[in-house]
Structure 1
């Protein structure tokens, strides 16, 4: 008989994918050992209330990430009063655990509706220009950075190491996003727009994204979207409300021939892995949702996601990804308080 450890490794080689259910709290030793040899470690999360205790900052710092990525809803403001918005960002910046992280780790990210200023808001928000400047102040963006004068907070960041590079492409799914279609026939909040109607990114950002992918020489390319891209049947905000935009994104990724493209998303107050095979793409497209940091969907009882891999995590957690440039592998983990392992996915690119 095969040794159990050998069998597990064999299965991973065949499937290129390993998931662990939230109930299985013991870390996978093979994954842990392999991930310890990673060349780059990225931590990310979303849905963080500045006035609630966050027990995860010390855990995030213990993973020794090379980068922290905000996935949106970095504070909960929901206001068009910039003085109030600024005070809430100040409150978050005063959190001791977050201060400790900022001292040690570079920080980038995007916003979502609650730090944007309007619940489920998009292009119609009349204080978006002013809110953008407050967000950029919070992120410590230089006054001469192009984001200070462009419409939207989208940006790209490349991180080079002796063994390879990672490009993080931060999207803005708020500034240009057009109207959603209410679902009046069911209990769901929204339904998909008529195909071809509306946009998530807007023309200028779409053009920019295509160039960023087409010109990328990075070993891995991460798209940061504040809302989920693949999960599309829950009735809340998702790229699935604009199905033509999902198709356009998949085509843009395939046409670019960019290596190792994956998605980081938030918003939902749950964490989950979604995955799909796309014709013309040599690897699966994974959407790693990590949410939330200070509060979660504790009443979660299930919802359909045709792309889900493994189980949903509905307690507070953050996401961690460890990359190996030589083997083109990514180890993705959902981690809770005291670094409790809640779920994991291994993917080779």
Structure 2
């Protein structure tokens, strides 16, 4: 009988611990210090993707879609839904999805229109299709808010990692075409022009100011630091770039890192910001199934290293105890195409 009560006590304690773990968002049972992030963008389900097995082999704690998950470019909601469904039939992705948490944002081609922003007529309907694809529950607050932005926090034995996913489409002001040069768009100094919109800006400020995470990763579908090329970039809204940098510096949030996609190239950009004790890195990973293979160069005063114009994906290894991050642009079969290390 004594043994019975001991066994019953153990079972009760195990049950209680199990229930407690289920209530904690994103707890990773890992004895190592590292938190591994994998991310990428610009993906066509009908094109070969050689990376899903490599990504899974990295044993990531999370996969982040950086936008252009599919190429739909349509205002037909059912067609959009069908094209998303095709991605779920890709065997390698289905295996990753079964084993790794999937989060992320959209960009223009899965939003529904090339270079599109707040003016897109079916953005609200498109948002619901995106949330369906991402497996967001029907009763989630994200179903009622405007825009697909969200934050996710993960806990490991040594600390916390927050991933803030932005929406650079739903609220973004119209771009200004550049009629005087070969560039597609030109910057605007209009103080009313926006990338995130008032509500999302306020939300982001609260997420950064209230963060107790050891690393805070911000996923922006478009590049933040590289702004000279004339394509889509935060650089088309210089006042918004300044606002973001000031917000990061003033928030006191630790280990802030920018992730981006969109460009069909991969590169590292880095700059020093007043009030920030470490450089701000913008890690662009773009070209999962197709890339800018004929790339011949473009200016980027913040670039570190060289542009990778081959198909690739991104890996970030976070050492929470030592406050270090290792950024890697990855090719097929575990090939490291370029890497950057940064202390925080």
TM superposition score normalised by structure 2 = 0.90
Q: Distance in 2 between matches of 1:305 and 1:186?
A: 17
Residue of structure 2 in register with 1:113 after alignment: 108
Q: Distance in 2 between matches of 1:330 and 1:38?
A: 12
Shift in Å, 1:195: 4.6
Q: Distance in 2 between matches of 1:116 and 1:50?
A: 16
Kindly report the root-mean-square deviation, in angstroms, between the aligned alpha carbons of the 2 structures: 1.0
Q: Distance in 1 between matches of 2:265 and 2:33?
A: 26
Deviation per CA, 1:296-342: give whole Å up to 9, x if none: 00010000000000000000000000011110000000001111110
Shift in Å, 1:39: 1.7
Give runs of aligned pairs for residues 271-282 of structure 1, distance below 5 A: 271-282=266-277
Q: Distance in 1 between matches of 2:122 and 2:253?
A: 35
Structure 2 counterpart of 1:51, from 46, 50, 53: 46
Shift in Å, 1:144: 1.1
Higher relative contact order (Cα pairs below 8 Å, separated by 6+ residues): 1
Give runs of aligned pairs for residues 249-328 of structure 1, distance below 5 A: 249-328=244-323
Residue of structure 1 in register with 2:238 after alignment: 243
SS at match of 1:286: strand
Shift in Å, 1:196: 2.1
SS at match of 1:125: coil
Deviation per CA, 1:91-149: give whole Å up to 9, x if none: 00000000010111000000000000010000000100000000001001111111100
Residue of structure 2 in register with 1:125 after alignment: 120
Please tell me whether residue 216 in structure 1 is matched to residue 218 in structure 2.
no
Q: Distance in 1 between matches of 2:185 and 2:239?
A: 16
Contact 1:274 1:287 in 2 (8 A): yes
Q: Which ranges of structure 1 fall in alignment gaps of 5 or more residues? A: 1-35
Q: Distance in 2 between matches of 1:193 and 1:339?
A: 41
Please tell me whether residue 227 in structure 1 is matched to residue 222 in structure 2.
yes
Structure 2 counterpart of 1:185, from 175, 180, 189: 180
Q: Distance in 2 between matches of 1:201 and 1:189?
A: 21
Deviation per CA, 1:243-298: give whole Å up to 9, x if none: 00000001101110000001000000000000000011000000000001000000
Aligned length: 314
SS at match of 2:281: strand
Larger radius of gyration: 2
Contact 2:33 2:321 in 1 (8 A): no
Q: Distance in 1 between matches of 2:190 and 2:255?
A: 28
Contact 1:220 1:261 in 2 (8 A): yes
Shift in Å, 1:194: 2.3
Contact 2:42 2:289 in 1 (8 A): yes
Deviation per CA, 1:176-199: give whole Å up to 9, x if none: 000111111111100101252410
Give runs of aligned pairs for residues 12-91 of structure 1, distance below 5 A: 38-91=33-86
Structure 2 counterpart of 1:201, from 189, 196, 221: 196
Structure 1 counterpart of 2:159, from 156, 164, 167: 164
Contact 2:33 2:158 in 1 (8 A): no
Residue of structure 1 in register with 2:12 after alignment: none
